[in-house]
Structure 1
Amino acid sequence: MSGREGGKKKPLKAPKKAQAEMDEDDIAHKQKIKEQQKAIQDAKAKASQKGPLVGGGIKKSGKK
């Protein structure tokens, strides 16, 4: 008895899907998304460079 017979069988590879044709609207939409993601990454980089905005720690009110 061979150990190769048991276990899961590998699924057959699916054929590669053809590249879908993209019209001008799709291209413009993808470009807009790329620009938004780049702007978000730039904002994150700028935010990480600076120190904490409030250096006072926990502020207590005068009420008890």
Structure 2
Amino acid sequence: MSSKQGGKLKPLKQPKSGKKEYDEHDMELMQKKKDEEKALKELRAKASQKGSFGGTGLKKSGKK
């Protein structure tokens, strides 16, 4: 049995933080952020249904 320690010591685990209490201002910001994300998600879904942008673009003819 050796009294030497080899390698690095593992750091002690930090205690988990408890639930955070939010005031009215924080709740408003969180709600606003959720609304913006929801609107962005809806726009993405709408854009993916349409296909390519504009619908018309450069058309290649079969002739040379």
> TM-score, with normalisation over the residues of structure 2?
0.65
Distance 1:10 1:51, change over 3 A: same
Matched, 1:27 2:14: no
Q: What's the C-alpha RMSD, in Å, of the aligned pairs? A: 2.2
Question: How far did 1:42 drift?
Answer: 0.3
Matched, 1:55 2:53: no
Question: Number of residues paired by the alignment?
Answer: 54
> TM-score, with normalisation over the residues of structure 1?
0.65
Q: Return the alpha-carbon distance in structure 2 between the equivalents of residues 40 and 29 of structure 1.
A: 16
Distance 1:8 1:43, change over 3 A: farther
Question: How far did 1:12 drift?
Answer: 2.7
Stretches of structure 1 lacking an aligned partner (at least 5 in a row): 59-64
Identity of matched residues, %: 48
- The equivalent residue for 2:62 is none
Q: Return the alpha-carbon distance in structure 2 between the equivalents of residues 43 and 36 of structure 1.
A: 11
Q: Return the alpha-carbon distance in structure 2 between the equivalents of residues 8 and 42 of structure 1.
A: 50
